[in-house]
Amino acid sequence: MTLGEALLWARAYVDRLDARLLIQSASGCSHSDLLARPEIPLIAPAQAQFMEWVQRRAAGEPLAYLLGEAEFRGRLFQVSPAVLVPRPETELLIELALEKSAALRRSAQILDLGTGSGIVAISLALESPGSVVSAVDLSSAALDVARNNAGRLKASVALVQGDWYAPLAGRRFDLIVANPPYIAADDPHLCGDGLPFEPPMALTDKADGLACIRQIVAGAGAHLMPGGWLLFEHGYDQGLACRNLLQAAGFQDVFTHPDLAGTDRVSGGKL
Ligand code: GLN
């Protein structure tokens, strides 16, 4: 089979871009090889790998898990099924956190709760010069991915294993950020769109969707400096509930911000 024939075969199962990225990864060929030299033969192991990936992609497995990597804010992050696939809407959390840390006029102490692949902590460490970033996750497999990403991207992030604030007794931060699991256990969204392949602990609290957010809000008082901000991502219909939780916990300047699609996505407040 040649590159051109393999691509033609794959088009019956997956879209053009996915087919191209999978064949490049399986065979090591470049985009220009595909365009200019489609008659290059695909060696047997590469062909077998490509055909397997195409079938798995057609069955709904996220492209990022097949490629082992995904882009976020222009950087390439390693991902595995131990971590969530980076979502573009999470950029909003970064943008808002950068605003808050820039307003500090000193090096910010930042904490990322439930860091997963580390995209939030690493982006903040690289884009908020002088900041000191710590990141927590319960999953040691996720922390391995985050550690590898921090190393490859030369970001300085202190990675700690534990349950939300549990490993941080006595420590306070200027800024706490989180992209917690916020999908309710009975949300049918969990059954589609590649989500069944992702770690359930990163997606759902196995309750009403707000259980982890309640814990994060409740614990923030003991871990924020005076005037510190808590910012977290949440679901499209959770803005009001999140603002209520923040206000009840004594936060001020409580807000919800929509993502680029116009959907409520990040809420936060100042203590
Ligand atoms: N935004 C993701 C989704 O709806 C969920 C991510 C999360 O729970 N933190 O698929």
| C-beta neighbour count of 264 within 10 angstroms | 18
Q: How far is the CA of 149 from the centre of ligand 1 (A)?
A: 21
The reply to whether ligand 1 has any atom less than 6 angstroms from the CB of 228 is no
Q: Is the per-residue pLDDT at 201 higher than 90?
A: yes
Tokens of 205: 């609290």
| Tokens 């990403």 sit on residue | 149
Mutate which of 89, 92, 120, 233 for ligand 1 pocket (most atoms within 8 A of beta carbon): 233
Q: Is the per-residue pLDDT at 211 higher than 90?
A: yes
Atom number in ligand 1 closest to CA 195: 10
Bridge partner residues of 258 (DSSP): 264
Q: What is the average pLDDT across 74-101?
A: 98
> What pLDDT is recorded for position 42?
95
Q: What is the average pLDDT across 154-174?
A: 98
Bridge partner residues of 157 (DSSP): 133
- Residues 101 and 174: beta-carbon distance below 8 Å: yes
Q: What is the average pLDDT across 123-146?
A: 97
Bridge partner residues of 111 (DSSP): 134, 176
What pTM does this model have?
Answer: 0.96
Mutate which of 203, 204, 213, 260 for ligand 1 pocket (most atoms within 8 A of beta carbon): 203
**Mean pLDDT score of the chain:** 97
The reply to whether ligand 1 has any atom less than 6 angstroms from the CB of 203 is yes
> Nearest residue CA, atom 6 of ligand 1?
203
Q: What is the average pLDDT across 24-28?
A: 97
Atom number in ligand 1 closest to CA 204: 8
Q: Which of 102, 243, 248 has the alpha carbon at shortest distance from 175? A: 102
129 — pLDDT class (breaks 50, 70, 90): confident
